[in-house]
């Protein structure tokens, strides 16, 4: 059915509902039909939306504090998702489990339009309040959903196209919704795929951050998929009880992630947990084999928690002495720092300096542009040293509201402030006890909080908000910034004494445009991060990738490759698969070829037009938008003409 016919069908359904008070069958997709029927049962009038007011600032801050774990893990993926749709009249939205928006980012002019229908933080988009919409309907359907234009129950929302996917916590409960909303006139072919991928990445981040003292096992039938979006993740208590599992893991093991109570490790696999961890610890490879009771073989990587490590260290190696691994022994098994070396000499120098500091608990300060991989380097330092079995706790000092960062770092007692969690909350510093605290964008930390952090470093103890109790902490600190921290000190925006406390070893990451290992890095990302070892990159694409300025560095490269895979239909990555914003940033300085006067005199008008379109498209490397802009015609027109000429 054509788009115009379907839009007419939606209008027909709405008119019949308004005129007769009933909804005809078969005019709307099943999920939308069910949603409209629920709205009718709730008593919502299709032509009269209830008034909605956003929550007051303090209420919104309390809501964000209650959802701080979700917010912290979702923000990096929201930023990544937004980088794909910037300047397309769109916005990325995060809601809590009740459908109330807690964070949004997007094109400013479109966000202003969205505010007219209360699509903004602090407003509930539950279906019984805001009618059929992607956020509220996804919560009820418990599935990803796309709501196009007039499919919204309230007609004033018809200017929106919305794709939303529920976000599950490690125990299988819905804790929020990720939504991408945009102008209904914009193309939407791949937005749902991007939203679903981003939601899964948030879920995996929640696993990474949530189980410091338990055993996390990552697995897949194919070893190259471990560490990617498609890996299975299962968390077991030290005595072998299954505590949590992600969607991919539940599918591979044939489980329902919401019905795992009472499942034991040895009821799933041929060995018990203790034996598997012992084999994994002694293995020269980071991955081991797990065999299910049904004979299916899985490649697995174990991450023992702090409790499990304590048990392992206390085990006698000769019946008398406690087993205490040395730095050299740990490095002999695995050195994650080495995995970051893809051939660039500047990066290799940084990695060499980092490896020499292992085992000395020297504070590390990582400087580098946004997207150069500062957190990846920090994790590698953590996993290469003696604290590798402790928690790695990351906090972005720039992304947490100033009013919440203190409780996030230090924790709080019950009733320490309005909206504080019942029974209080453990801060991130205490969570990092025995491991590493990673302070990203540390230069954005408020000055008042810098003084408290300095005392923690000096005294190795914390005092939660609302408490007089001092808690000892044993942590290693790695800080990172995308600016010269020394300059912040000179500007009076960062404490000099804290700067010297953090700057035990300064490591600088080179920007991607200055690195010589782009091709090897691309291969690494495709195979290890995106789980694709079958991609063939066309030579002209590789040439464009090598000439790109990469202002977003490795993070931008990852996003470009991830988007390209969404558009690919086979194993070959061509120019047509690259996202449009990639071309907009590409500035090769080469002039656009024109059709010569001789060619114009000798050719017919259609031939001249075809030659011009071919040359302009070639000059813009297949970018329809850029070519259309230069020719002064619409993107739809150039696409139609190119299709007729077999150029696409």
Name the pTM for this structure: 0.55
Arithmetic mean of pLDDT, 166-175: 89
Task: State how far the alpha carbon of 603 is from the alpha carbons of 448, 464, 631, 638, in Å.
Answer: 73, 80, 19, 20
Residue 144 has pLDDT above 60, yes or no: yes
- Torsion (CA) 43, 49, 50, 51 in degrees, nearest 10: 180
pLDDT value, residue 325: 39
pLDDT value, residue 647: 66
Residues 212-265: tens digit of each pLDDT: 568 889 999 888 778 777 889 999 988 899 998 988 898 889 888 778 888 999
**Residue 398 near residue 444 (C-beta atoms within 8 A):** yes
Short-list 477, 488, 510, 499, CA closest to 444: 488
Burial of 255: CB neighbours in 10 Å, binned 0-12, 13-18, 19+: middle
Domains of the chain: 71-185 (3.30.450.40), 211-324 (3.30.450), 334-510 (3.40.50.300), 513-585 (1.10.8.60), 597-644 (1.10.10.60)
Residue 134 has pLDDT above 50, yes or no: yes
Higher-scoring residue by pLDDT: 221, 480: 480
Residue 328 has pLDDT above 60, yes or no: no
Lowest mean pLDDT among 73-77, 338-342, 536-540, 600-604: 600-604
pLDDT value, residue 323: 35
pLDDT value, residue 623: 74
The sign of the CA dihedral 377, 230, 242, 426 is: positive
pLDDT value, residue 61: 86
Lowest mean pLDDT among 177-186, 321-330, 563-572, 637-646: 321-330
Residues 78-92: tens digit of each pLDDT: 888 888 777 888 999
Confidence category of residue 135, pLDDT binned at 50, 70, 90: very high
pLDDT value, residue 608: 59
Confidence category of residue 519, pLDDT binned at 50, 70, 90: very high
pLDDT value, residue 331: 36
Residues 569-608: tens digit of each pLDDT: 788 898 888 887 787 777 544 444 444 444 434 444 456 5
* The two three-digit tokens of residue 15, written as one number: 């008119």
**What is the chain's Cα-based Rg?**
27
Residues 374-425: tens digit of each pLDDT: 999 999 999 888 888 788 888 888 777 666 777 778 887 765 444 444 445 7
Short-list 147, 149, 152, 189, CA closest to 164: 147
Residue 54 has pLDDT above 80, yes or no: yes
Higher-scoring residue by pLDDT: 332, 98: 98
Q: In what order do the strands lie in the sheet with 436-440?
A: 392-396, 436-440, 476-481, 364-367, 505-508
pLDDT value, residue 648: 59
Centre a 10 Å sphere on the Cβ of residue 622 and count the other Cβ atoms it contains. 21
Lowest mean pLDDT among 122-131, 292-301, 330-339: 330-339
Task: State how far the alpha carbon of 37 is from the alpha carbons of 23, 41, 126, 505, in Å.
Answer: 7, 6, 15, 62
Choose the most confident range, by mean pLDDT, from 247-256, 319-328, 493-502: 493-502
């Amino acid at each position: 059915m054509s788009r115009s016919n379907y839009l007419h069908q939606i209008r027909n359904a709405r008119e019949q509902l308004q005129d007769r008070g009933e909804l005809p069958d078969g005019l709307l997709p099943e999920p939308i039909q069910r949603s409209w029927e629920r709205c009718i049962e709730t008593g919502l009038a299709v032509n009269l939306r209830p008034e909605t007011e956003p929550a007051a600032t303090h209420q919104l801050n309390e809501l964000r504090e209650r959802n701080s774990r979700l917010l912290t893990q979702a923000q990096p993926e929201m930023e990544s998702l937004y980088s794909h749709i910037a300047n397309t009249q769109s916005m990325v939205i995060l809601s809590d489990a009740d459908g109330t928006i807690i964070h949004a980012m997007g094109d400013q002019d479109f966000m202003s339009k969205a505010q007219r229908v209360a699509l903004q933080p602090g407003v509930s988009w539950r279906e019984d309040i805001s009618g059929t919409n992607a956020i509220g309907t996804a919560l009820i359907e418990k599935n990803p959903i796309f709501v196009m234009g007039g499919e919204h129950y309230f007609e004033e929302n018809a200017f929106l196209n919305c794709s939303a996917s529920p976000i599950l916590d490690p125990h299988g409960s819905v804790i929020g919704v990720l939504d991408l909303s945009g102008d209904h006139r914009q193309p939407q072919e791949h937005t749902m795929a991007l939203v679903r991928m981003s939601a899964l990445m948030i879920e995996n981040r929640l696993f990474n951050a949530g189980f410091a003292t338990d055993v996390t096992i990552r697995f897949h039938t194919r070893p190259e998929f471990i560490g990617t979006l498609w890996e299975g993740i299962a968390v077991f208590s030290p005595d072998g009880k299954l505590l949590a599992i992600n969607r991919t893991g539940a599918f591979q093991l044939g489980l329902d992630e919401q019905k795992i109570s009472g499942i034991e490790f040895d009821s799933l696999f041929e060995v018990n947990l203790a034996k598997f961890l012992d084999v994994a610890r002694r293995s020269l490879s980071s991955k081991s084999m797990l065999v299910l009771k049904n004979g299916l073989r899985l490649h697995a990587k174990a991450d023992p928690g702090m409790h499990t490590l304590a048990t392992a260290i206390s085990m006698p190696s000769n019946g008398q002495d406690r087993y205490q691994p040395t730095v050299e022994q740990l490095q002999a098994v695995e050195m994650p720092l080495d995995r970051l070396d893809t051939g660039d000499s500047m990066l290799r120098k940084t990695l060499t300096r980092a490896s020499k500091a292992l085992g000395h608990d020297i504070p590390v300060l990582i400087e580098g542009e946004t997207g150069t991989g500062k957190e990846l380097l920090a994790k590698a330092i953590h996993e290469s040293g003696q604290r590798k079995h402790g928690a790695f706790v990351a906090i972005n000092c720039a992304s947490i509201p100033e009013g919440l960062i203190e409780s996030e770092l230090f924790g709080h007692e019950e009733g320490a402030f309005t909206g504080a969690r019942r029974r209080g909350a453990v801060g991130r510093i205490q969570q990092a006890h025995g491991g590493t605290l990673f302070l990203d964008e540390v230069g954005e930390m408020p000055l008042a909080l810098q003084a408290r952090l300095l005392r923690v470093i000096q005294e190795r103890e914390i005092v939660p908000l609302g408490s007089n109790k001092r808690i000892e902490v044993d942590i290693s600190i790695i800080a990172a910034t995308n600016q010269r921290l020394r300059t912040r000190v000179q500007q009076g925006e960062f404490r000099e004494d804290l700067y010297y406390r953090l700057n035990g070893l300064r490591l600088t990451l080179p920007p991607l445009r200055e690195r010589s290992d782009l091709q090897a890095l691309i291969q690494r990302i495709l195979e290890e991060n995106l789980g694709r070892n079958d991609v063939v990159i066309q030579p002209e694409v590789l040439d464009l990738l090598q000439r790109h300025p990469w202002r977003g560095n490795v993070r931008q490269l990852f996003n470009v490759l991830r988007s390209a895979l969404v558009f690919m239909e086979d194993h070959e990555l061509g120019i047509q698969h690259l996202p449009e914003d990639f071309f907009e940033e590409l500035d090769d300085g080469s002039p656009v070829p024109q059709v010569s006067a001789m060619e114009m005199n000798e050719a017919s008008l259609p031939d001249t037009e075809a030659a011009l379109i071919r040359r302009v498209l070639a000059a813009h490397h297949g970018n329809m938008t850029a070519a259309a802009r230069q020719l002064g015609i619409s993107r739809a027109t150039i696409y139609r003409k190119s299709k007729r000429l077999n150029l696409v």
